[in-house]
Every structure is written in structure tokens, then in C-alpha cells.
Amino acid sequence: MRVLNATQMREADRLTIEEIGVPSIVLMENAGRQVVGALEARFEELVGQRVVVLCGCGNNGGDGFVIARTLKQREIDAAVFLVGAVRDVQGDARCNLNILGQIGMPVVEIPDEQAWELHYSEIAGFDVIVDAILGTGIKVPLIGVLQTLVADINELEIPVVSVDLPTGLSADTHDVVGEAMKAALTVTMGAPKVSLLLPPAEMHAGDLVVADVGIPRRVIDELEGPRLEVITRESVRRFVGTRQVESHKGDFGHVLFVAGSAGKTGAASLAAVGAVKSGVGLVTVATPRSSQAVVASYAADYMTEGLAETPDGCVDLPGLERVLGLPSDVIAIGPGLGKGSSVSDFVHGLLTRSGVPLVCDADALNACAVEDALLCSHDGIDVIITPHPGEMARLQGTTVEDVQANRIEAARSFAIGHGVHVVLKGHRTVIACPNGHVFLNVTGNPGMATGGTGDVLTGVIAAWFAQLLDAEAACKIGVYLHGLAGDLAVVEKGEVAMSASDLVPFLGNAVLDLAGREGVDVEE
């Protein structure tokens, strides 16, 4: 599902009206009726509640006038307030405003702060507030009566349903500058906007409904400009196929992990079992010799290989030749690998000499912080990197705060500049591709904010990479299933007690859920 900015949304409207032939007033009618449908779905006893619709003077307000009329037609107690003056309402919005007059539905003007003070207590007595004041066109912070109105409503304990965007948010950024409406539900038109998906603006949106108002999907898909998409169940389901009865382990790839060090063997095991539970045919963990027995003891589902090591129990450069000689379809390097010059030399050597696709995580990324140019595709070999914000900041020579404030551009610029696929982990994991396309993942929960979940993700992505041999597809299905497994696990484990190892048994259930087959109970 594509995410649009304000310019793209206007162009989608224009193409639908001028080239497809859908009148603009029909789009407005559809938008209003979709919001009413969402209201009825959200509030079961809507017929017995009082709804106030706050409208602006533009098209967002026009949607609000349709909402008010539709509520009245369904015998729901509704009132309309115009934040502005009637004389300023034009076009389709004016047409729908005039209809309210024809059916005897009064519209009260609130042109200034004095009028707001006069009507505030009346509005505070309603059960539901519909925010149809400002849509996607806002570019500057709210001032005057709008600022006061939004601040006052945010203090009320009344659920707000926002139309397209909560008033005060922009369609072009997930920053929040000044006052912005705090909605319990946002019904956005045609396609989601970035402010509804990423914090801090996301925190103002509440639950999100994307309404079909009649803009053809092909119009949205063919729009020019930045390409940002939400990963949906439908978009990744096709990667999960039915296995043939004559299948054998060689059909599903072999992942070689270079991971672990003294005191960090758990990371290597978590990555390996994440891969095993994601369907890969074979898994081998290459780890320092002194860690091999420990890594092998965690699970019987993968093979291990001992490597030359330094006195402090990290991989040493002579072990590189052994790794390059081991069979694999994908090499994943980094989880629990440790730090030091020997690790850096090993990582640098593997990045420049590997003949198979790579997944680089954790300490492999830290080893490249000074020489990030090593993290690039070469000889047609794909590379996936999976940094958390701190690792991304080190790679780009910036701060975690800067990365978090610009997650999409941070990932996109690195992906394009280095020719790699970037999986920037965290809330709303970002996948950026070398062609500039960016994807947002919406599965997952705060219970996954614990050590080791990133190692599991490395294993999941590597497993799907080995099976699909498609870096973009592996990233998309990997982060989606990893988050979905967390969503299934949190139901039983809770956010506080959930650990990285709790995710692993739910990876199979996540695949079943994605494929539309009934899951099985997971034993403790």
C-alpha cells in the first residue's frame, strides 16, 4: 500500500477527476460516507450518542458537511460548527454546506477565539467530536483560534475522529510542530500519509482506517515522486508457497552464520534458530573454537564450525579462508561477533571476497563504521544490512537523534549511495532498496524491545534470502513475519516478560497466519 505526500495526493485527486472522470463532488460524498461507516463501526451505540462535526472552510470541511448530513439521515443526533466564516467556503464544500441549509441543519460559525469561548462548553457536552477542520494542505503551525481550539479539545476526555489527518499534522512530515489534534481514530482518504505512520506525529492519529473514496489503485501506483509503501499481508503472502511433496533440504537453501564470541554465544544461537524456524534447509554456525561447544549445546537443529580465534575469544583473520571454503547460499555475519582489530580485518576480508550474498548485522556493521564504503554490493552480489539506530548513526557519522528524526531518508540515502538493502530496525522498521523504494513495516510491539530480537531477525531475513534469492522480498517478508511472531507471542507472554527466545516458537505460527492457515498451540 503506497504512502502519499500532499503533492501526490493532490495529483491523485486531479487524475481521478480529469482523466478517470469521477466528479470531485462524488469523491467528497464518498469520503464523508466512509467516515460515517467508520464511526458506526467504532461506536456501537452511535444512534444514542451526540456527535459534533467541526468543519473548516476547505475540502476537509466539505467532507465534514457530508458527514453531518449523513448522520442526520441516519437519525443520529449531530451538530455542525464551522471554524471560520460561511462566506469563505467555496466550490464543492459550499455546495454541501448549502444542502445542510436546505434540510434544516444549522451551521454555527466560529470565526475567532471569542466565538470559540462562547461555544466551547456546548461542544464539550457532546459524546464524539469529528475533526474535519484541516486536511493535507497544512504547512505551518496552527495559530489563533485553531491553536486554541485544538489545545482545548485535547484536554477533553471525548473521543475525536479525524478526517484524513488530525488538524495540525502535515502530510509531508512526521514531525509535530505546535498544536495538533489527538485523535482516537483517523479515517484517511485513498492512501496513508507518513504522519499517520511514524512518531511523533503517529501518536496523534490513534487507530487508522484507509478509506476507498474512488481513486483507482493504478492512479496511486503510477504517481511520480518518492515511493514509500506499507508492507501489507497481501504484499508478502505470495512469497509463502506450498512445498512440493518431493522437496528435500537442498531445495530451501543453506545459511552460514559467522557469529558469536566469548560471552556472546547466545546471539549466534538466536540467529541460527531464527533461520531454522523460518524454513531454510540447512544452517551452519561458524564461531570461534572456544565457543563452538557452547553454541552447539543450545540446539540440535544446526551445524557448527570452529574458527581460529584471538586470545580474547573472537574470530581471527586466519579463520576467513575456512569460512570462504564452507558451502552456503547466504552468509550472515555479525551477531555477537565482538570488537577489535582482528574482527574488523575478518569482516573487511569477507565483505570484499565473498562470492555469495551477505547479511550484515551488529558487530559486522560496527567494524565498518570507519570504512562504510566496504558495505556495498560488488560483482552482482546483493548485500543486506540490518542496523539499529545507533549502528546507523555510526555508519553515517551522525547522531541517533538525527537518524530517528529522519528514518526514511537515512535509510534511503545509504541504500542508494552504497547499492545495498537497508533494514533500519525499531518501531516501524524501514526497508530501503538501492533503487530508492522504501517500505514501512507495521507489525511488532514494544515487548520486542529486548536484547536478542535483532539477532532473531537476522536469522529470519537470512533464511528467506536463501530460499527466495531476492533481497527485497527477503527483507519484506522477514521483517513482517518477525513482527507478526512478536504480536502472536505478546498475547501469551505480555510485553514485560517477553524475551527474544519467546519469538522463535511463534515464527511458524506467523507463517501459518500469513498464509491463511490455522495456527497451532505453542507449548511452553
294's CB contacts (< 8 A; 6+ apart) are 265
Average pLDDT over residues 85-92: 97
pLDDT at position 517 is 59
pLDDT of 417-450, one tens digit each? 999 999 999 999 999 999 999 999 999 999 999 9
Inform me whether the pLDDT recorded for 365 exceeds 50: yes
Average pLDDT over residues 466-470: 97
pLDDT at position 523 is 35
Average pLDDT over residues 219-224: 96
The percentage of residues in the chain with a pLDDT greater than 90, rounded to a whole number, is 94
Inform me whether the pLDDT recorded for 519 exceeds 50: no
Q: What is the mean pLDDT of the chain?
A: 95
- What proportions of the chain, in percent to the nearest 5, are helix, strand and coil? 50, 15, 35
- 74-79's contacts with Cβ under 8 Å and 24+ in sequence apart are 74/36, 74/47, 75/47, 76/46, 76/47, 76/49, 76/51, 77/49, 77/50, 77/51, 78/50, 78/51, 78/52, 78/53, 78/105, 79/50, 79/51, 79/52, 79/53, 79/106, 79/108, 79/126
Q: If phi over 0 gives left and psi between -120 and 50 gives alpha, with beta otherwise, what is residue 279?
A: left
Q: Which H/E stretch holds residue 132?
A: strand 128-132
449's CB contacts (< 8 A; 6+ apart) are none
Residue type, 262: A
pLDDT of 120-170, one tens digit each? 999 999 999 999 999 887 888 999 999 999 999 999 999 999 999 999 999
Mark 45-73 as b/e (b = at least 16 C-beta within 10 Å): ebeebebbbbbbbbbbbbbbbbbbbbbbe
Inform me whether the pLDDT recorded for 520 exceeds 50: no
pLDDT at position 303 is 98
Q: Look up the pTM and report it.
A: 0.93
498's CB contacts (< 8 A; 6+ apart) are 447, 448, 450, 486, 489, 490
Distance of alpha carbon 53 from alpha carbon 101, whole angstroms:
15
